[in-house]
Amino acid sequence: DNEEWVPLAGHTLWPAQGYNPEVIGNLAGVPQLPTNFAARNFALVMPLSAGTPKQDFSLLLDSEGSDIWLPSIRCDSCAADKQEQESFYRAPKSGTFKPHLAPTPFGMAPRAVGVNEGGGHIGGYVINDTVAIGSLEVPE
């Protein structure tokens, strides 16, 4: 029984009084799963690390896709303030970072990707890096 449970945290998004850190979490030994009570303003969040050495983040669990989106330290419009931006992913600090390169008329360049979802657009570049959730580590 060397099972490891990764804690899941429930966060209510954008409430007037701030985030709700109520834990949904470890269901080991629970005789019956609770009814799904997730609403439009509710998110499941779990700890994740990326890079070598590890950089820690909170991962928003999304059942619609398999990609992991990390905000880059280079994105000036992704953060509410400079302090939040300092917590973003730093590719140059990771020894296992590898960009996906694509041919262009001007030579090889990072492969851009974008998604229109909800009320806006998200864009970035496809990369590989080591990712860890709990003790499970997936090498780049």
Greatest pairwise CA separation for the chain in angstroms: 60
> How many other CB atoms are there within 10 angstroms of residue 78's CB atom?
14
CA geometry: angle 53, 58, 61, nearest 5 deg: 125
Amino acid found at 117 = E
Residues 6+ apart with CB under 8 A from 130: 50, 51, 52, 94, 96, 137, 138, 139, 140
131 contacts 96 by C-beta, under 8 angstroms = no
Which pTM value belongs to this model? 0.66
CA distance 87 to 79: 9
Span 14-66, pLDDT tens digits: 444 443 444 444 454 555 555 555 555 567 788 899 999 999 988 887 767 77
